Amino acid sequence: MTETHYASCTLCEATCGITVTTDGDRVVDIRGDENDPMSRGYICPKATALADLHHDPDRLTRPVVKRDGRFVKVGWDEAFDLVGRRLRAIRGEHGKDALGVYYGNPTAHNLGLLVFGVPLFRSLGTKNVYAATSVDQLPHMLAGLLMFGHQALLGVPDIDRTDLFVCLGANPLVSNGSIMTAPNLRKRLRAVRERGGRVVVVDPRRTETANTAEHLFIRPGTDALMLLSVVHVLFAEGLARPGRLADRMTGLTELRAVAEGFPPEKTAPVTGVAADDVRALARALATTERAAVYGRVGICTQEFGGLATWLVVVVNALTGHLDEPGGYMFTTPAIDLAPLARLAGHAGSFGTFRSRVRGLPEFGGELPVVTLAEEITTPGPGQVRALITAAGNPVLSTPNGRRLDEALDQLEFMVSIDPYVNETTRHADVILPPTGPLERSHYELLLALVSVRNWAKYRPPVFPRGEQQRHDWEICLELAVRLLGPDVPLLRAAGRLGVATLSKLGPEGIVELGLRAGPHGLLRGGLSLRKLRKHPHGVDLGPLQRRFPERLFTKGKKIHLAPKEYLGDLPRLRRRMEQWQPGELVLIGRRQLRSNNSWMHNSPRLVKGKPRCILLVHPDDAQRLGLADGEQAVLSSAVGEVQVPVEVSDEVMPGVVSLPHGWGHDRPGVRLSVASRHAGASINDVTDNKCIDELTGTAALSGQRVTVRALAATRS
């Protein structure tokens, strides 16, 4: 007998509503939910692949322990006891910092891991906490902390009301938005143009989004220079008009002074963006009533990611579009994490301690993941000797993956909370597999902070978890019993009592408390979990509203446009501009609609068809390097090389080559039967973990110098 369930696709930030038709324990069909207030029936191909994930024979459902180099199934108690015993012993002998933690970005889409897993990881007392943050959105969060007083204050383009959308280093038609939860961006961007507005994409590649918009090529890593030139024009032509928040802004004088040294005519030879185009863009932003500048991964993960992300906010502020309808706004989520975190003393931190080996700054209690391998391999106090990973595959998703691959083999013990034996977890001594997306409940806790519209939705699991399965949060609670506090029987028993209480509360209890305390909660006659259960499609809470100055967390509720950290980094940018040499070949990644970083390539429907792990090379570069379309080439850097097929295309600008991320499933010991047949090459086998944004410690994945040669020439 078939049943229909209303759910959410939690594979990316769009969180589209879906209807899942089941017959017993089988998924029969997955479609878009036409009554979802945000997605309104839209889904991308990844949503239907949730069925493949649920039924994947390679997915683990029971714990496995490595014995004599092979994984064998064991019971949960045996696995937990082994993990607790080994991790306690290593911490007891070498100290708290001997234990490292890494969690990946699927954590942001997982209610249980957010409310139980992340607190566990932070409670372990180790400085060696790493996450996907530092290969993704860290510069955005730093701007929120330094400019507005809270790392969770992330601006969102009010895409549904804007008349000028300027997009840097992002491809929202493929990403479905990122730090911009907005399903069906194609329809939303089309609506901008239909109401007489403009969409401008500034990117080293003519992306899928750029193909539907006005496009300006820009050399990778130079966005900060172009944005400084925009600021220069705004001041020089008297176009800087901050609007109603002007009295709240500090640093206008400093901005004017630093921008004087970056006129468009000076930066254009480096950026590749013509001076006239920069001036036209600045004027359009200043004279369009509703406009927004948006930047994403491409501007974050580069040599000057901190400066570029700061300047996105600055341009929005100077043109009067900060916290204004159609501009760069802030959400009113049903569960408002920012004030809750502030009450708990977690508004954010930066540089309060540094990594042991390279001295890189922490952010929000996490160290940059570019330093993880050396923290494992470098002897001395604080050396990482044991590692917990959760919802992440850093061997493929962080730079110099082969070095990290080798480093993981040197650990004394490793445990992974993951449903697969993948490129990272194959190194684990114990794998604790959680339930899948259709087997757990969901409330969009974190990504509601960056939605283009306020909304709330709870969905129960489509399938009940099996008796021998465990949710992520249940795994984390069991680990807490074994890892936190003294190893004393009486205290252990008290800990179990606490775990029993938290288990009864569960993620739903946390959601209920958050809703009651939130701006739409029961105290105002609004939301509760009970009400959300009665609205399975979700509840529309309306468009974004002005939040400043009340939303600001700075002293005096000021907006700091020129924090000293950014001003102090400008000389580095100026030196780079002066030292730039033409003719450098640089690498960028690219996102693909049917990929989800590294972990959905085991879905047959997503990887079928022509190979997609292909290096894009401009015709001029191909001719100069002797490369032909379809030919195998060797892509090399200072840290390694990979063999990839070439596609000659003017989609990329001269001097730029592009390889998609998330591939490289050819490592021995991986149990991904479909992905291994479509292995591809990992871009992070050639990205250098020494290439970073020196201000933030974020990996500079985009714009790294590389060489490309024909494989035939190599053999000859």
CB 28 within 8 A of CB 13: no
pLDDT > 80? residue 39: yes
What percentage of the chain reaches a pLDDT higher than 70? Answer: 97
Instruction: Provide Rg for the chain, Cα atoms.
Output: 25
Burial 110-138 (b: 16+ CB within 10 A, else e): bbbbbbbbbebbeebebbbbbbbbbbbbb
Supply the pLDDT for residue 219: 97
Nearest to 183 by CA among 330, 47, 292, 59: 47
Type of residue at 296: R
Summarised one tens digit per residue, pLDDT across range 206-230 is 999 999 999 999 999 999 999 999 9
Write down the pLDDT at residue 491: 56
Facing residues of 543 across strands? Answer: 453
- Asked whether the beta carbons of 327 and 291 are under 8 A apart, the reply is yes
**If DSSP states are collapsed to H, E and C, what string results for 576-605?**
HHHHCCCCCCEEECCCCCCCCCCCCCCCHH
Pick the closest to residue 603 from 18, 54, 43 (CA basis): 54
DSSP class of residue 433? Answer: P
pLDDT in tens, 63-74: 999 999 999 999
Q: Please report where in the chains the tokens 């990992």 appear, as a residue.
A: 682
Q: What domains are there in the chain, each with its CATH number?
A: 2-55 (2.20.25.90), 66-126+368-444+458-537 (3.40.50.740), 138-333+550-567 (3.40.228.10), 583-715 (2.40.40.20)
Q: What pLDDT does residue 502 have?
A: 81
Handedness of CA 426, 428, 432, 438 (dihedral sign): negative
pLDDT given at position 665: 97
pLDDT at res. 525: 60
Of 419, 478, 435, 487, give the one whose Cα is nearest residue 77. Answer: 478
- Scan for tokens 């100290």, then name that residue: 95
Beta bridge partners of 540: 455
In degrees, rounded to 5, the angle at the alpha carbon of residue 474 between the alpha carbons of residues 421 and 338 is 100
Parallel, antiparallel or unpaired: strands 413-417 and 26-32: unpaired
Q: What band does 526 get if pLDDT is binned at 50, 70 and 90?
A: confident
Which residue is associated with the tokens 């906490």? 129
Residue pair 475/63 in contact by the 8 Å Cβ criterion? no
Closest CA to 643 of 711, 591, 703, 707: 711
Q: Region 247-270: what's the mean pLDDT?
A: 97
- 16 phi, psi to nearest 5 deg: -65, 145
Closest-CA residue to 142 (of 704, 697, 624)? 697
Query: For 43-58, how does the pLDDT look when each residue is reduced to its tens digit (9 = 90+)?
Result: 999 999 999 999 999 9
- What's the confidence (pLDDT) of residue 613? 97
What's the per-residue H, E or C state across 639-697?
CCEEEEEEEECCCECCCEEECCCCCCCCCCCCCCHHHHHCCCCCHHHCCCCCCECCCCC
Which tens digit of pLDDT belongs to each residue from 301-311? 999 999 999 99
Exposed/middle/buried for residue 425 (C-beta within 10 Å: 0-12, 13-18, 19+): buried
Strand, helix or coil at 498?
helix
- Summarised one tens digit per residue, pLDDT across range 106-133 is 999 999 999 999 999 999 999 999 999 9
Please tell me the distance from the alpha carbon of residue 434 to that of residue 440, in angstroms, as a whole number: 10
| C-alpha dist (Å) from residue 253 to 235, 248, 250, 552 | 10, 14, 8, 21
**Confidence band for 713, pLDDT divided at 50, 70 and 90:** low
CB-count exposure of residue 188 (10 Å: 0-12, 13-18, 19+): buried
What DSSP character marks residue 136? T
pLDDT tens readout for residues 274-286: 999 999 999 999 9
Helix (H), strand (E), coil (C) string for 525-556: CCCCHHHHHCCCCCEEEEECCCCCCCCCCCHH
Q: Which residue has the tokens 């009067």?
A: 320
CA distances from 55 to 109, 371, 463 (A): 20, 37, 12
Copy the structure tokens of residue 592: 């693909």
Q: What DSSP string describes 251-290?
A: -HHHHHHHHTT--HHHHHHHH---HHHHHHHHHHHHH-SS
Which residue in 595, 672, 590, 451 sits closest to 45, CA to CA? 595
The 10s digit of each residue's pLDDT in 193-208 is 999 999 999 999 999 9
**pLDDT band per the 50, 70, 90 thresholds, residue 493:** low
Structure tokens at 698: 């974020």
Local confidence band at 492 (pLDDT 50, 70, 90 cut-offs): low
Q: In what order do the strands lie in the sheet with 26-32?
A: 2-8, 17-23, 26-32
Which of 675, 669, 674, 678 has the alpha carbon at shortest distance from 64? 669
For residue 714, pLDDT beyond 70: no
Find out whether 169 and 220 touch, Cβ atoms under 8 Å.
Answer: no
**How far apart are alpha carbons 38 and 452 in whole angstroms?**
9
Element (H, E) at 564: helix 564-567
Going by DSSP bridges, is the β-strand pair 453-456/2-8 parallel, antiparallel, or unpaired? unpaired
pLDDT band at 345 (very low <50, low <70, confident <90, very high): confident
Angstrom distance (rounded) from CA 600 to CA 47 = 11
Confidence (pLDDT) at 522: 58
The arithmetic mean of pLDDT across residues 518-530, rounded, is 77
How far apart are alpha carbons 179 and 154 in whole angstroms?
8
Q: Which helix (H) or strand (E) holds 297?
A: helix 297-300
Q: How far apart are CA 238 and CA 519, in angstroms?
A: 39
Supply the mean pLDDT for the chain. 95
- State which amino acid sits at residue 293: V
Residue 149 contacts residue 551 (beta carbons within 8 Å): no
> 666 with 276: CB under 8 angstroms?
no
For 17, phi and psi rounded to 5 degrees?
A: -75, 140
Q: Which of 364-368, 404-408, 597-601 has the lowest mean pLDDT?
A: 597-601
Cα–Cα distance for residue pair 249/558, rounded to 1 Å: 6
First to last CA, the chain: 64
Joined tokens for residue 512? 């209920």
In the numeric block, the tokens 């800990």 are attached to 495
Mean pLDDT of 329-341: 92
**Exposed, middle or buried by CB within 10 Å (0-12, 13-18, 19+), for 478?**
buried
Q: Sheet of 164-168: strands edge to edge? A: 214-216, 198-202, 164-168, 291-295
The pLDDT confidence band at residue 581, using thresholds 50, 70 and 90, is: confident
Name the amino acid, one letter, at 180.
Answer: M
The whole-model pTM stands at: 0.96
